[in-house]
Amino acid sequence: MGALTGKVAVVTGASRGVGKGIALALASEGATVYVTGRTIAAGTAPLPGTVGETAAECDARGGKGIAVQVDVTDDDQLAALFAQVQAEEGRLDILVNNVLSIPDEMTQRKPFWEKSLANWEIFDTGLRAAFVASYHAAQIMVSQKSGLIVGISGFVGVTYTYDVIFGTTKAGMDRMMRDMAIELKEHNVAAVSLWQGFTYTERAIENLKNVPGMAAQLNSAAGSSPEYPGRIIAALAKDPEVMKRSGGTWINAELGEEYGVSDVDGRMIPSNRAERGSPIWVPV
């Protein structure tokens, strides 16, 4: 029995990367995790990982993984996901809005007017889909008078990193969680935005090899595993006073210090606040 046994979570973009790490961290605490993403067959995406593989690892961690193929740009598929959760579980305790499309051009050193307008998919997956998912999750959480909605963001919300659309999307996530928190407050449902530093995902490791100057810029001591954000979310979900944090934008490493949460290798992750900037939004 884990601390989150009996709790139900939805994690978007959990075939691989941060989403997979979050799903595994929540499952390690006993949660039932709806693992969502587009990849269901190995070898069909440029990077490894499928929703089924993540769900199986959730089971092995002591939780329960439920794989659901979802294209978050399809409103009907998102509606069907939350209808499934309601029908099968009758509750929803945690929604993690993690998914983000990362076009190859995003990390290329070109100005926005030389990039394709198709890169607006970053916004569609990283912000619009988070709004639609939160819309459906809130209807379940408000009725049960409890719940936690998390937006995965980063220092890019205030510090230029890679790309105009990327920064706009993450700044929007911070503000959206804050404003949702205002409307959710009377219903005892929390909404927070979390800033992670560099995370050693499959894509990030490839970028270290291929993006000029990236390896030299990285302070490896500040990097975390993909599971670290999930450990922070689990700590928030277990906190009986989480409503005091609702509406705020929080740096994962600083929450780790407060909650005594380390990474999978036992390291305490340092905050990049001094180097990369401070959150704007405080709790409501």
Q: In this predicted model, what pLDDT tens digit does every residue of 4-16 receive, in sequence order?
A: 999 999 999 999 9
Mean pLDDT of 215-243: 85
Q: Report the alpha-carbon angle 251-267-55, nearest 5.
A: 75
Q: Is 56 exposed, middle or buried (0-12, 13-18, 19+ CB in 10 A)?
A: middle
Report d(CA 13, CA 172) in Å as an integer.
18
Domain residue ranges in the chain: 8-276
Q: Is 211 exposed, middle or buried (0-12, 13-18, 19+ CB in 10 A)?
A: middle
Q: Which amino acid is at 186?
A: E
Mean pLDDT of 247-267: 97
pLDDT at 201 (0 to 100): 77
pLDDT at 221 (0 to 100): 55
pLDDT at 251 (0 to 100): 98
pLDDT at 204 (0 to 100): 64
CATH topology for 8-276 is Rossmann fold (3.40.50)
pLDDT at 213 (0 to 100): 59
Report d(CA 163, CA 36) in Å as an integer.
26
Q: Above 80 in pLDDT, residue 205?
A: no
Handedness of CA 78, 21, 122, 248 (dihedral sign): positive
208 pLDDT band, cuts 50/70/90, is low
Question: Higher-confidence residue: 221 or 235?
Answer: 235
